[in-house]
Every structure is written in structure tokens, then in C-alpha cells.
Amino acid sequence: ELKVEQNPLFLSMQEGKNYTIYCNYSTTSDRLYWYRQDPGKSLESLFVLLSNGAVKQEGRLMASLDTKARLSTLHITAAVHDLSATYFCAVSNSGGGADGLTFGKGTHLIIQP
Amino acid sequence: GAGVSQSPSNKVTEKGKDVELRCDPISGHTALYWYRQRLGQGLEFLIYFQGNSAPDKSGLPSDRFSAERTGESVSTLTIQRTQQEDSAVYLCASSFDRVNEQFFGPGTRLTVL
């Protein structure tokens, strides 16, 4: 059974600081996703990571994937208040074909001025 | 273009009643997914459709839950004899193919009294 663990589950940080959210998963997978969810809203896709060593960056967010370690990281650089949200990583359930995703429990991020 | 839409946005029902939730995927997306998100939790995969067939029903929590899809279009998730533990936000997502991200709808918030 595929399990996805995120840490930390809750993070409060100050604007301007850097931090990393970690996502570990238990079995081989070929796709990992990062999503953002604002309170009362649906999920917004941030990154799709498809191969070992993949690195993607968008603004102050950068995601990477190490398939050998079964680890993905979401790094926040010089945080700003607008990045406050819950961040989920999700891993595909099987090696091929469109299928459901297994989500981590989410990291609730609060960025304080 | 139009995103994934879901209806109703909110549904309050009494225990024991049946409910039907609707999802309109993005046009051209062959894959469609249903997830459940309980308060403060991550997403729980329910069912996946490729076209109008459902190769993966592994996430449906009980036989009270069923879903169908018409071609590569609308899908309905039906919950029979609702229970209080069914209260959650039900999210629908669609994707173009196996390597692209899933785009989520706004969700239906179901409350079972």
C-alpha cells in the first residue's frame, strides 16, 4: 500500500525566511505532484515531477524529486505572506496509466509579517 | 477555458437519504477522478474513470457509494443511505493524459445531519 508522509504538518514562519517541506513516499512511483489549497478553496496545481533529479521552479517555490530516496522537497525562498496556504504532495498509485493519487496530509503554512 | 465544475456546491441532507453529486470535467479530458476530503485532512481517492469505464474502484469506502460517467463527459457520484461519517468535501478532478496534472473542481460540501 502506497503511503505518503509530509513534514512538517504545520509551519509558522516569518516573511523573508527560507524553509523546506518534505514529502516521503513508500513505494516506487513515476509521478509526484505538489498542490496548493487556500482555505475553503479547491486545489491548485503547482508542480508535476516525472523523473529522478527533476527540479522545477516557479517564483519563490522550487520542487525537486529524488526517486531513489523516494523523497520530494518543496523549498520556499524569502517567504511572503501570500504564500500562506496548505501544501499537499501527491503520488501516483501505480506505475502506468492515469489513476488516482495518494495524498499526504498536507503542510499548513502560515507566513507572518 | 472553462475548468472543472461541480454541483451542487453545498448539500445538506438527513441521515438515510440518498444524494447525487455531479462533475463536469474539462472538455477533452479523458480521465476523471473523485476524491473525498474530510475536515482538516488530505484527499482520499475514491474512483477513477478512463472514458466511461472505471478500471479502479478500489477507493470506494462501501457499497453505498457508486459512480458513473457518460462517455468522456459528466460523471455522477451517488451515495445511498447517507451516514454522518459521509460528511466531507467531495472533489472531482480531470486530466488530459497520464503524465499531466489533475485539475480539480471547486468541490461539493456534503453535510449529513
Distances from the Cα of A45 to the Cαs of A21, A110, B21, in angstroms?
Answer: 16, 19, 23
Query: Measured between alpha carbons, how far is B95 from B79 in angstroms, rounded to an integer?
Result: 24
Distances from the Cα of A21 to the Cαs of A85, A91, A101, B74, in angstroms?
Answer: 13, 15, 19, 36
Q: What is the mean pLDDT of chain A?
A: 90
Query: Measured between alpha carbons, how far is A33 from A44 in angstroms, rounded to an integer?
Result: 11
Cβ–Cβ under 8 Å, residues A70 and A24: yes
* A64 to chain B, closest Cα gap in Å: 16
B33 vs A88: CB contact, 8 Å cut-off? no
* Structural domain boundaries in chain B: 5-112
* B98 to chain A, closest Cα gap in Å: 4
Residues of A in contact with B102 (CB under 8 A): 33, 45, 101
Residues of A in contact with B100 (CB under 8 A): 48
- Please tell me the class of the A4-112 domain: mainly beta
Q: Does residue A43 belong to the interface with chain B, where contact is any CB pair within 8 Å?
A: yes
Residues of A in contact with B30 (CB under 8 A): 98
Residues of A in contact with B42 (CB under 8 A): 88, 103-106
Q: Per-residue pLDDT tens for A48-87? A: 998 888 899 999 999 999 999 999 999 999 999 999 999 9
Domain B5-112 sits in CATH 2.60.40.10: yes
Cβ–Cβ under 8 Å, residues B4 and B105: yes
Q: Per-residue pLDDT tens for B67-108? A: 999 877 899 999 999 999 999 999 999 998 766 788 999 999
**Could you tell me the strand order of the sheet in which A61-66 lies?**
A4-7, A19-25, A71-76, A61-66, A55-58
* Structural domain boundaries in chain A: 4-112
The confidence score (pLDDT) of residue A94 equals: 63
Interface of B with A (CB under 8 A): 30-31, 33, 35, 41-48, 50, 55-56, 58-59, 91, 93, 95, 97-107
